[in-house]
Amino acid sequence: MRLVLIGAPAAGKGTQARKLIDRFQLAYISTGDMLREEVSRGTELGNKAKSVMASGGLVSDELIIAIVNERIKQDDCKNGFILDGFPRTTVQAEKLDEMVKLDKAVYINAPDDIMLERITARETCPKCGASYNKISLPSKKAGICDVCGEGLTQRKDDTLEAGKARLATFHEQSEPLVEYYKKQGILFEVDGMLGVEEVSKAIIAELEA
């Protein structure tokens, strides 16, 4: 099964992807996580991406398409994969269609004001990538990852200002993908305002249907 997850910043793409990979034994590919890894390692790509990401813009199509094209050829993707945060532009979607045939595009729909609240309350594990929320999904021990015990951190782009810019970028550049996949007949839309478990139940039911 080959899936893409579309949704505004903080809609719950990463949260849902982690549930779906366990259920369906899929490889997990988050372009945001891959870029953050490059930034933290200080690679050439990371240095190019750093300021763009912090300001809430998008890394160039050319760069990100090359990364994904390499990643989906790896062995762990043979059984299928979930792409979280790719494609984000129509150019990326068209290139992806040239690479593989997708089974489903899941759109997690959620309103901007609530997403801003989620962004500023999010805590992330820098080691295993688990995502928490001080309001809706706190870790059992404050500031510590439930999964691996690492200290939780806040993403550099999880400020109010960068959050607003990321939402604007989403509406301008990524939201047209909803129509793109609707036309292909593979779009499944889910209400991102439901609880985490309800969202995953709805997606799993659709994928198993």
Q: Is 127 among the residues known to form the active site?
A: no
116 interacts with ligand AP5 by CB under 6 A: no
Decide whether 12 or 20 has the Cβ nearer to ligand AP5.
12
Q: Of 18, 50, 88, 118, which one is the catalytic site residue? A: 88
Q: Of 122, 156, 183, 201, which one is the catalytic site residue? A: 122
- Binding segment for ligand AP5 (CB under 6 A), chosen from 54-62, 94-102, 140-148, 178-186, is 54-62
91 interacts with ligand AP5 by CB under 6 A: no
DSSP symbol at 85: S
For ligand AP5, the binding residue among 3, 4, 6, 11 (CB under 6 A) is 11
Q: Of 2, 13, 18, 50, which one is the catalytic site residue? A: 13
Write 92-101 long-range contacts (CB < 8 A, 24+): 92/61, 92/64, 92/65, 92/68, 93/177, 93/180, 93/181, 95/61, 95/65, 95/69, 96/4, 96/65, 96/68, 99/68, 99/69, 99/72, 100/2, 100/72, 101/2
For residues 119 and 10, the answer to whether their CB atoms sit within 8 Å is: yes
Report the nearest approach of ligand AP5 to the CB of residue 127 (Å). Answer: 16
- Binding segment for ligand AP5 (CB under 6 A), chosen from 84-92, 95-103, 143-151, 178-186, is 84-92
Q: What is the rounded CA–CA span in Å between residue 186 and residue 188? A: 7
Structure tokens at 209: 């249907």
> Segment 12-51, which members bind ligand AP5 (CB under 6 A)?
12-15, 31-32, 35
Place of tokens 């007949």: 185
- Which residues are annotated as catalytic? 13, 88, 122, 155, 166
